């Protein structure tokens, strides 16, 4: 009996499966914190610069609130990120030996260029407001954001090489075949890199924008005149509108690049089993028998189709273009169900974000976002959805590439550590799952606490509900008067 | 091992570039043991401090520990970038020990960060325990890893590993006491000087015990360095410890800190010097066999030469912005 994802139940203790599950769990949680740094960095710079430029307290308040969130996310990101750097060696020792020249370099560049920059200047951003001049404080926020972006850049350099490897040759060394770096520029700037980097950074910005919009909507819902949170809300809606539209167009082009460079992944994204011209786009594809659950090459699917659309999208406009089906490849398919549904969740959410952006733009033109309960509720409900889209998108990228750890060069199973025992691998899997799960839950809990104490500040307990309370008039800038004196 | 070196016909732009990278890997390890040693020591000394003192210790530790911890990441990734097979072998061979180190670092990091987030005694108690336990276990496990690496031991838990683990724990106590002496005033400072004095004596005692264990109790359990090398290391350790104790008694706090750094330097140099030309004794891999190809090493060198001075600059800046005594309210 195997799972829908193609892994046998009896293999749960298999060290390779346990190692992969461990990496997946660790990355799923770490990516939230990493994306938080990437997406929040530019917002922090904006708040700090505006605070110093205008001297307005609302920006100081936003800077304080989101610096706290950033710092917490950074610590969680460090705590969850350091083990990831070591898991290449512990669980994928063969991969690390074979691809060390291509992967080790970018990872060490990440540490040298990004981590120290981020860690050192975050100390100043957190504790140094009174210790350094204003211009230097602003510069520090810029360095922190730059650090987050450089870190993402080098990680994606390593990942993009695994998707579209270039600039190396396979040589014999010490009795085994290893990849030797021959052309650094080709190896670092692979065909995939620009696509992956732009798509990932946009996704991070959209995810964080939705969180900011959701939090701001919550406060504005309870205090319509809070200048602090209306400022945040407006900024978030504008960014959301621009970035979500951009991401849809960019994503479309990116999918075409995937169809060209990793046809098997593209076929899994679209659940296309047979090579065909004029391929239909499956909006839904569900196996009609239980046997098909554990057979990724199943053909007995129930599908809802849009004629020719898959060919149209893959080729950039030709409805009769040929799409290579999964059955063409004479090695294992990726777990199609996981890739197919992850892709649909991501794309569906992407369109929802465009809708939210347009709706917000319309509200802005019509004289304000704060008047619409329905829109504020929609933003609150959508706060975590950016991260859902980001994680499912990452699943498409990583699971869709299977069975390869390096596309067309090395299988994931061949990259695993040889001789690792089931007991060791399972023990560390359970430990990692527990620690990472706790980190994520604690993070969410503490951000809720921040929101709660901010709400108490905005709404004194005696004020009643925000819509008609006495604080809706002259007391509208509660945030401006008490800033710096509390928390 | 020497035959293995001459087997290599690969040409590097600077003939000794692989050896320079070997030295660089250990220099980064030393920087990590020194800088995070401050933090581990603070974490262990924290156990005996009371409420106000704990706040002050957090204020000293808060702004710098995250940046200090990054040196561990640099060590891991530099090892990966220059000697990928060693990185892979070491981490997979001592699988559970690696996860134990990581778990201890998580306990330390989460304990110290989350403490400030809620104001309840129970919350503080749990966070403090996590902070102290992580700060004690991390250097111990790191010492075990370093010993297993240097002596090429296949088994993870053994006498040598435990001895070196204890050695790093003691070293961290002295480092933490030295750091806090510079960062605090009043009673706490006097207490820290005293603990530093005791710790320095303890470090020499543990070092002698570890060497005696290797020679007398369990000879052959680990390949021994030569007598001359061992004598130099023991002599250096005693000399720096004695200098440190004199500086400690004379209240020359920076002189004391330098002497403690000397202890760390002796420790790491001993490891590196007696390991070469091997870089992974358990797998009988030499530096020249394990190092990456010239192209990869050149790229690594260009990036390192450009960015390591900048990193040193960040640290000078960070430590000078937060120089001067820490007070409880700062954090």
In a domain, B6, yes or no: no
Q: What percentage of chain A has pLDDT greater than the value 90?
A: 38
Residue among A292, A189, A284 nearest B299 (CA): A189
Chain A: give the shortest CA distance to residue B148, in Å.
16
For residue A469, what pLDDT is reported? 39
The residue among B205 and B223 whose pLDDT is bigger is B205
Burial bucket for residue A130 (CB in 10 Å: 0-12, 13-18, 19+)? exposed
Choosing among B293, B297, B301, which should be mutated to test the A contact, i.e. which has the most A CBs within 10 A? B293
Chain B: give the shortest CA distance to residue A244, in Å.
34
For residue A473, what pLDDT is reported? 39
Least reliable range by pLDDT among A59-63, A258-262, B29-33: A258-262
Residue B2: pLDDT above 80? no
Contact at 8 Å (CB) between B28 and B82? Answer: no
In a domain, A423, yes or no: yes
B107 to B133, B134, B186: CA distances (angstroms): 7, 5, 30
Across the range B114-142, mean pLDDT stands at 88
For residue A378, what pLDDT is reported? 93
Residue among B321, B18, B42, B20 nearest B178 (CA): B42
- φ, ψ for residue A173, nearest 5 deg: -145, 125
Cβ atoms < 10 Å from Cβ of A434: 12
Residue A280: pLDDT above 80? no
Task: Select the highest-mean-pLDDT range: A118-122, A242-246, A297-301, B62-66.
Answer: A242-246
Report how far residue A74's alpha carbon sits from residue A317's, in angstroms, rounded to the nearest whole number.
43
Burial bucket for residue A477 (CB in 10 Å: 0-12, 13-18, 19+)? middle
Cβ atoms < 10 Å from Cβ of B129: 13
Which residues, in sequence order, are CB contacts of B120 under 8 Å at separation 6+?
A: none
Contact at 8 Å (CB) between A246 and A205? Answer: no
Across the range A241-264, mean pLDDT stands at 89
Element (H, E) at A438: helix A422-458
For residue A6, what pLDDT is reported? 47
Residue A10: pLDDT above 60? no
Report how far residue A314's alpha carbon sits from residue B236's, in angstroms, rounded to the nearest whole number.
68
For residue A295, what pLDDT is reported? 56
In a domain, B11, yes or no: no
| Minimal Cβ distance to A115: which of B73, B88, B92 | B73
Q: Mapping DSSP to helix (H, G, I), strand (E, B) and coil, where does residue A1 land?
A: coil
Domain count, chain A: 1
Contact criterion met (CB < 8 Å) for A120 and B99: no
| Minimal Cβ distance to A127: which of B62, B285, B289 | B62
Whether the CA torsion A310, A315, A316, A319 is positive or negative: it is: negative
For residue A467, what pLDDT is reported? 43
Q: What percentage of chain A has pLDDT greater than the value 70?
A: 87
Residues in chain A: 487
In a domain, A164, yes or no: yes
For residue A294, what pLDDT is reported? 55
- φ, ψ for residue B220, nearest 5 deg: 90, -10
Q: Which residue of B has its CA nearest to A442?
A: B114
Query: Both tokens of residue A28?
Result: 């799923």
- C-alpha distance across the termini of chain B, in Å: 52
For residue A12, what pLDDT is reported? 52
In a domain, B24, yes or no: yes
Chain B: give the shortest CA distance to residue A420, in Å.
8
| Minimal Cβ distance to B295: which of A120, A174, A184 | A184
Contact at 8 Å (CB) between A92 and A103? Answer: no
**DSSP assignment letter at A317:** S
Report how many Cβ contacts below 8 Å link chain A to chain B.
Answer: 200
Contact at 8 Å (CB) between B135 and B42? Answer: yes
Task: Select the highest-mean-pLDDT range: A394-398, A480-484, B51-55, B242-246.
Answer: A394-398
pLDDT category at A190 given cuts 50, 70, 90 is: very high
Report how far residue B123's alpha carbon sits from residue A308's, in angstroms, rounded to the nearest whole number.
60
In a domain, A294, yes or no: no
Element (H, E) at A177: strand A176-181
For residue A301, what pLDDT is reported? 66
In a domain, A98, yes or no: yes
pLDDT, one tens digit per residue, over A149-189 is 999 999 999 999 999 999 899 888 877 888 899 999 999 99
Mean pLDDT, chain B, whole residue set: 85
Whether the CA torsion B58, B59, B65, B66 is positive or negative: it is: positive
Contact at 8 Å (CB) between B89 and A93? Answer: yes
Contact at 8 Å (CB) between A211 and A43? Answer: no
In a domain, B181, yes or no: yes
Burial bucket for residue A65 (CB in 10 Å: 0-12, 13-18, 19+)? buried
In a domain, A449, yes or no: no
In a domain, B21, yes or no: yes
Q: Which residue of B has its CA nearest to A143?
A: B314
Domain harbouring B35, CATH code: 1.20.1630
Q: Which residue of A has its CA nearest to B83?
A: A100
Whether the CA torsion A379, A382, A384, A388 is positive or negative: it is: negative
pLDDT category at A26 given cuts 50, 70, 90 is: very high
Contact at 8 Å (CB) between A388 and A345? Answer: yes
Chain B residue numbers with beta carbons less than 8 Å from the beta carbon of A113 are: 303, 307
Across the range A418-430, mean pLDDT stands at 86
Report how far residue B327's alpha carbon sits from residue B221's, in angstroms, rounded to the nearest whole number.
48
Q: Mapping DSSP to helix (H, G, I), strand (E, B) and coil, where does residue A322 land?
A: strand
Choosing among A96, A140, A167, A189, which should be mutated to test the B contact, i.e. which has the most B CBs within 10 A? A96
In a domain, B5, yes or no: no
Contact criterion met (CB < 8 Å) for A100 and B84: yes
- φ, ψ for residue A274, nearest 5 deg: -105, 140
Across the range A327-355, mean pLDDT stands at 84
Contact at 8 Å (CB) between A479 and A57? Answer: yes
pLDDT category at A479 given cuts 50, 70, 90 is: very low
The residue among A280 and B165 whose pLDDT is bigger is B165
Across the range B265-275, mean pLDDT stands at 89
pLDDT category at A300 given cuts 50, 70, 90 is: low
pLDDT, one tens digit per residue, over A431-447 is 999 999 998 998 999 99
Cis omega (within 30 of 0) on the bond before B277? Answer: yes
A414 to A27, A403, A411, A418, B92: CA distances (angstroms): 20, 10, 5, 9, 15
Report how far residue A127's alpha carbon sits from residue B139's, in angstroms, rounded to the nearest whole number.
27
The residue among B319 and A394 whose pLDDT is bigger is A394
| Minimal Cβ distance to B98: which of A78, A86, A123 | A86
In sequence order, the β-bridge partners of residue A169 are: A180
Question: Domain range spanning residue A116?
Answer: 15-260+334-444
Contact criterion met (CB < 8 Å) for B296 and A101: yes
Helices (H), A7-56: 15-54
Quote helix, strand, coil % in chain A, to nearest 5. 70, 5, 20
Report how far residue A350's alpha carbon sits from residue A352's, in angstroms, rounded to the nearest whole number.
5
Chain B residue numbers with beta carbons less than 8 Å from the beta carbon of A86 are: 76, 91, 98, 102
Residue A11: pLDDT above 70? no
Q: What angle do CA A201, A205, A207 make, to 5 degrees?
A: 115
Mean pLDDT, chain A, whole residue set: 83
Q: Mapping DSSP to helix (H, G, I), strand (E, B) and coil, where does residue A323 land?
A: strand
For residue A385, what pLDDT is reported? 95
Across the range B46-52, mean pLDDT stands at 82
Burial bucket for residue A334 (CB in 10 Å: 0-12, 13-18, 19+)? buried
Question: Domain range spanning residue B270?
Answer: 16-325
Query: Around A38, how many Cα atoms within 13 Å sit in the side-chain half-sphere?
Result: 26
Contact criterion met (CB < 8 Å) for B317 and A120: yes
Chain B residue numbers with beta carbons less than 8 Å from the beta carbon of A174 are: 85, 285, 289
Cis omega (within 30 of 0) on the bond before A403? Answer: yes
Report how far residue A23's alpha carbon sits from residue A92's, in angstroms, rounded to the nearest whole number.
10
Report how far residue B325's alpha carbon sits from residue A389's, in angstroms, rounded to the nearest whole number.
47
Contact criterion met (CB < 8 Å) for B70 and A111: yes
Which residues, in sequence order, are CB contacts of A92 under 8 Å at separation 6+?
A: A19, A23, A405, A415, A416, A417
Report how far residue A330's alpha carbon sits from residue A405's, in angstroms, rounded to the nearest whole number.
17
For residue A461, what pLDDT is reported? 59
Least reliable range by pLDDT among A224-233, A269-278, A471-480: A471-480
Contact criterion met (CB < 8 Å) for B314 and A116: yes
Chain B: give the shortest CA distance to residue A97, in Å.
5
Q: Mapping DSSP to helix (H, G, I), strand (E, B) and coil, where does residue A479 land?
A: helix
Q: Mapping DSSP to helix (H, G, I), strand (E, B) and coil, where does residue A169 land?
A: strand
Across the range B205-232, mean pLDDT stands at 81
Choosing among B106, B137, B283, which should be mutated to test the A contact, i.e. which has the most A CBs within 10 A? B106
Q: Which residue of A has its CA nearest to B87?
A: A89
Residue B51: pLDDT above 90? no
Residue B292: pLDDT above 70? yes
Domain count, chain B: 1
In sequence order, the β-bridge partners of residue A183 are: none
Q: Mapping DSSP to helix (H, G, I), strand (E, B) and coil, where does residue A324 land?
A: coil
Burial bucket for residue A53 (CB in 10 Å: 0-12, 13-18, 19+)? exposed
Which residues, in sequence order, are CB contacts of B76 under 8 Å at separation 6+?
A: A85, A86, A89, B87
């Amino acid at each position: 009996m195997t799972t829908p994802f193609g892994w046998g139940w009896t293999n749960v203790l298999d060290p390779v499966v346990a190692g992969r599950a461990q990496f997946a769990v660790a990355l799923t949680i770490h990516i939230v914190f990493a994306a938080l740094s990437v997406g929040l960095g530019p917002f922090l710079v904006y708040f700090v610069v505006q605070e110093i430029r205008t001297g307005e307290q609302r920006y100081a308040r936003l800077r304080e609130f989101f610096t706290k969130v950033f710092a917490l996310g950074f610590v969680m990101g460090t705590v969850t990120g350091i083990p990831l750097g070591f898991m290449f060696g512990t669980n994928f020792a063969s991969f690390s030996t074979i691809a060390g020249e291509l992967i080790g370099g970018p990872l060490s560049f990440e540490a040298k260029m990004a981590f120290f920059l981020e860690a050192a200047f975050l100390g100043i951003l957190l504790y140094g407001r009174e210790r350094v001049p204003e211009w230097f404080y602003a510069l520090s926020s810029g360095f922190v954001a730059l650090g987050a972006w450089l870190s993402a850049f080098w990680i994606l350099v390593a990942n993009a090489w695994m998707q579209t490897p270039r600039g190396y040759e396979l040589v014999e060394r010490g009795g085994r075949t290893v990849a030797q770096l021959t052309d650094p520029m080709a190896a670092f700037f692979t065909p995939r890199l620009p696509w992956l980097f732009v798509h990932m950074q946009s996704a991070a910005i959209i995810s964080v924008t939705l969180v900011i919009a959701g939090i701001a909507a919550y406060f504005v819902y309870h205090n319509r005149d809070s200048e602090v949170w209306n400022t945040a809300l407006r900024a978030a809606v504008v960014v959301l509108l621009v970035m979500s539209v951009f991401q849809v167009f960019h994503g479309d082009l990116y999918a075409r690049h995937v169809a060209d460079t990793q046809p098997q992944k593209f076929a899994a994204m679209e659940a296309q089993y047979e090579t065909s011209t004029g391929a239909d786009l499956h909006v839904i594809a569900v196996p009609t028998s239980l046997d098909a659950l554990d057979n990724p090459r199943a053909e007995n699917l129930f599908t809802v189709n849009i004629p020719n659309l898959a060919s149209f999208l893959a080729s950039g406009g030709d409805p009769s273009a040929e799409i290579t089906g999964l059955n063409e490849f004479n090695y294992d398919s990726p777990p199609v169900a996981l890739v197919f549904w992850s892709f649909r969740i991501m794309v569906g959410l992407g369109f929802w974000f465009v809708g939210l952006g347009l709706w917000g733009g319309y509200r802005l033109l019509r004289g304000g976002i704060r008047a619409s309960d329905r829109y504020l509720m929609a933003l609150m409900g959508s706060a975590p959805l950016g991260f859902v889209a980001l994680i499912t998108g990452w699943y498409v990228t990583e699971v869709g590439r299977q069975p390869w750890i390096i596309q067309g060069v090395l299988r994931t199973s061949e990259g695993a550590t040889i001789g690792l025992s089931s007991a060791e691998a399972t023990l560390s899997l359970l430990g990692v799952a527990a620690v990472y799960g706790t980190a994520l839950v604690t993070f969410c809990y503490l951000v809720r606490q921040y929101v709660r104490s901010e709400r108490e500040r905005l709404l004194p307990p005696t004020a009643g509900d925000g819509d008609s309370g006495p604080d809706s008039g002259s007391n509208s800038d509660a945030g401006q008067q008490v800033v710096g004196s509390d928390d | 091992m020497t035959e293995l070196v001459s087997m290599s016909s690969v040409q590097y732009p600077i003939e000794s570039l692989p050896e320079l990278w070997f030295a660089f890997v250990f220099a980064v390890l030393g920087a990590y043991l020194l800088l995070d040693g401050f933090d581990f020591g603070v974490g262990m000394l924290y156990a005996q401090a009371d409420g106000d003192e704990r706040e002050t210790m957090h204020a000293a530790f808060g702004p710098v520990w995250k940046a200090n911890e990054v040196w561990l990441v640099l060590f891991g990734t530099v090892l990966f970038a220059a000697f990928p097979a060693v990185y892979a072998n070491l981490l997979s061979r001592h699988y559970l020990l690696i996860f134990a180190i990581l778990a201890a670092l998580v306990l330390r990091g989460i304990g110290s960060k989350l403490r400030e987030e809620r104001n309840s005694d129970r919350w503080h108690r749990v966070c403090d325990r996590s902070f102290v336990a992580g700060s004690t276990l991390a250097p111990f496990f790191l010492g075990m890893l370093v010993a297993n690496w240097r002596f090429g031991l296949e088994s993870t838990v053994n006498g040598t590993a435990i001895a070196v683990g204890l050695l790093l724990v003691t070293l961290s106590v002295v480092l933490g006491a030295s750091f806090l002496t510079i960062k605090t005033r009043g009673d706490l400072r006097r207490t820290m000087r005293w603990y530093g004095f005791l710790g320095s004596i303890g470090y020499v005692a543990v070092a002698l015990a570890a060497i005696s264990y290797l020679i007398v109790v369990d000879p052959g359990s680990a390949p021994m360095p030569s007598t001359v090398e061992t004598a130099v290391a023991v002599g250096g350790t005693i000399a720096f410890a004695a200098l440190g104790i004199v500086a400690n008694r004379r209240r020359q706090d920076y002189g004391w800190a330098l002497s403690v750094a000397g202890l760390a330097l002796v420790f790491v140099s001993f490891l590196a010097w007696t390991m070469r030309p091997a870089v992974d004794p358990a797998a009988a891999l030499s530096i020249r066999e394990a190092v990456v190809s010239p192209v990869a090493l050149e790229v690594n060198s260009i990036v390192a030469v450009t960015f390591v001075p900048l990193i040193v600059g960040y640290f000078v800046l960070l430590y000078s912005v937060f120089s001067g005594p820490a007070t409880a309210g700062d954090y």
